[in-house]
């Protein structure tokens, strides 16, 4: 059956050239434009095209244009396998960009056998141990490190210091953690083992997990379950729409617990969706938010308007910025490998593993990212977690934690969680 190319917001997301060329580098991209995570996936896909357009406008990869072949897989793992086969055999791409944890982890044995360098929007810690997944890379702090950091920040800055929990502290009560996530979704469950381990490390009791669908429009029973368990803090592992549902229901049912969440559940849409219910929530972030005063944000804004002028800027979010971070890492590997004379998988892999204190587009603090260092023994890009909160209806910086420095005796043992 002839594949119909998906049109997002009326803009074609396939960046084509008229013919294949020796001076062309091909990148295949698997994205969710229609599936369970499309609430954040559409904006990310727009950003990928915009970022590669900027790269080509700026001279490409050592003078070679990048041909982006972007396809929707609807968050379906079998479809991701089908697209990968096409990318490899028909399109003969030089690199693969992926989206979800389920499809990235499922394809990992194949891309590693094929020596196909893959950079994913899944920041799963399971993809960071090159002894097991040598051709998988991520562009930001992994989910497990972020989950540990979010719980640590809440424990140290909220539980120990806020008046809200003063009586509980004075009574000698141990804080209780409940995890809200879709049990069957690999993305949602990826950092659960790590955050529970961190809870044990901090002396936090873990109560019953609550199964919340990625597409949930009602989470009242889960909220009541956590309330009955006496939860003081909730970890949300889903994407924005269902996280907002749970937070609003918690507010309506007067669950007094605080809320912390993974990066895909925390953005400006969460602020709009939750209103007063979202005040005080703490979320992880992969980079700066759209419009923040950091290097290269002007280019991000310029190219959102240039490439997708029909999509209002106020409808864009941090997912666009994340896409630029992802593309910049991809281009760093491609550029260094091409300059060395070989655009093979092992060459691109070696180029990425040579990055030390690197920033997107080689500009310090570009897009709000801490420096990235990747080695042949550790594909975690950074131990630094960026944490934000919602204050007076606005996303505000909360704190950042270098988990390697804070837990030096634990850091290496956490690789691959």
* pLDDT tens for each residue of the chain, 417 residues long: 333 333 343 333 433 333 335 689 999 999 999 999 999 999 999 999 999 999 999 999 999 999 999 999 999 999 999 999 999 999 999 999 999 999 999 999 999 999 999 999 999 999 999 999 999 999 999 999 999 999 999 999 999 999 999 999 999 999 999 999 999 999 999 999 999 999 999 999 999 999 999 999 999 999 999 999 999 999 999 999 999 999 999 999 999 999 999 999 999 999 999 999 999 999 999 999 999 999 999 999 999 999 999 999 999 999 999 999 999 999 999 999 999 999 999 999 999 999 999 999 999 999 999 999 999 999 999 999 999 999 999 999 999 999 999 999 999 999 999
Same domain as 136, residue 51: yes
Same domain as 256, residue 391: yes
Pairing of strands 394-402, 384-391: antiparallel
* Nearest Cα residue to 72 out of 130, 14, 142: 14
Same domain as 104, residue 67: yes
Residue 408 to residue 284: CA distance in whole angstroms: 21
Domain that includes residue 269, residue range: 143-285+385-414
The number of domains in the chain is 2
Pairing of strands 233-236, 176-181: parallel
Burial of residue 156 (CB within 10 Å: 0-12, 13-18, 19+) is: middle
Residue 86, in any domain of the structure: yes
Residue 270 to residue 280: CA distance in whole angstroms: 12
Residue 2, in any domain of the structure: no
- Please write down the HEC assignment for all residues of 132-199: CCCCEEECCCCHHHHHHHHHHHHHHHHHCCCHHHHHHHHCCCCCEEEEEECCCCHHHHCCHHHHHHHH
Residue 1, in any domain of the structure: no
Residue 264 to residue 266: CA distance in whole angstroms: 6
CA distance to 104, 112, 134, 192, 393, per residue, from 124 (Å) = 9, 16, 14, 11, 30
CA distance to 30, 259, 276, 353, per residue, from 162 (Å) = 44, 14, 19, 42
Same domain as 295, residue 278: no
Residue 69 CB neighbours (<10 A): 21
The confidence score (pLDDT) of residue 229 equals: 98
Residue 409, in any domain of the structure: yes
Tokens 């570009």 belong to residue = 366
Residue 396, in any domain of the structure: yes
Residue 99, in any domain of the structure: yes
Same domain as 324, residue 256: no
Residue 111 belongs to a domain with what CATH number? 3.40.50.2300
The confidence score (pLDDT) of residue 22 equals: 61
């Amino acid at each position: 059956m002839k594949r119909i190319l998906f049109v997002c917001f009326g803009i074609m997301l396939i960046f084509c050239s008229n013919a294949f060329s020796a001076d062309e580098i091909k990148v295949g991209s698997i994205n969710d434009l229609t599936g369970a995570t499309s609430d954040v996936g559409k904006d990310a896909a727009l950003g990928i095209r915009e970022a590669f357009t900027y790269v080509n406008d700026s001279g490409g990869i050592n003078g070679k244009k990048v041909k982006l072949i972007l396809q929707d897989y609807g968050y379906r793992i079998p479809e991701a396998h089908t697209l990968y086969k096409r990318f490899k055999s028909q399109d003969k791409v030089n690199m693969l960009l992926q989206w979800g944890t389920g499809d990235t982890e499922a394809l990992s044995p194949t891309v590693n056998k094929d020596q196909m360098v893959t950079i994913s929007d899944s920041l799963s810690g399971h993809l960071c141990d090159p002894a097991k997944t040598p051709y998988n890379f991520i562009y930001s702090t992994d989910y497990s490190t972020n989950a540990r950091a979010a719980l640590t920040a809440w424990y140290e800055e909220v539980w120990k210091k806020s008046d809200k929990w003063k009586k509980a502290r004075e009574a000698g009560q141990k804080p209780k953690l409940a995890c809200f996530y879709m049990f069957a979704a690999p993305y949602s469950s990826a950092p659960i083992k790590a955050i529970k381990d961190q809870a044990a490390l901090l002396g936090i009791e873990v109560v019953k997990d609550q199964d919340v669908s990625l597409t949930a429009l009602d989470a009242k029973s889960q909220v009541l379950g956590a309330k009955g368990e006496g939860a003081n803090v909730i970890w949300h592992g889903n994407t924005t729409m269902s996280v907002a549902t749970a937070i609003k229901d918690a507010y309506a049912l007067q669950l007094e617990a605080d809320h912390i969440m993974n990066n895909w559940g925390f953005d400006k849409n969460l602020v709009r969706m939750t209103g007063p219910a979202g005040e005080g929530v703490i979320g992880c972030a992969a980079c700066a938010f759209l419009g923040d005063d950091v290097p290269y944000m002007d280019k991000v804004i310029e190219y959102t308007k240039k490439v997708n002028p029909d999509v209002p800027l106020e409808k864009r979010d941090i997912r666009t910025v994340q896409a630029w971070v992802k593309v910049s890492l991809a281009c760093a590997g491609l550029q260094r490998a091409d300059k060395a004379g070989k655009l093979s998988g092992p060459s691109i892999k070696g180029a990425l593993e040579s990055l030390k204190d690197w920033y997107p587009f080689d500009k310090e603090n570009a897009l709000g990212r801490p420096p990235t260092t990747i080695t042949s023994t550790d594909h975690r890009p950074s131990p630094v977690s960026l944490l934000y909160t919602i204050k007076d209806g606005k996303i505000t910086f909360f704190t950042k934690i270098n988990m390697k420095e804070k837990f030096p005796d634990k850091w290496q043992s956490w690789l691959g969680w």
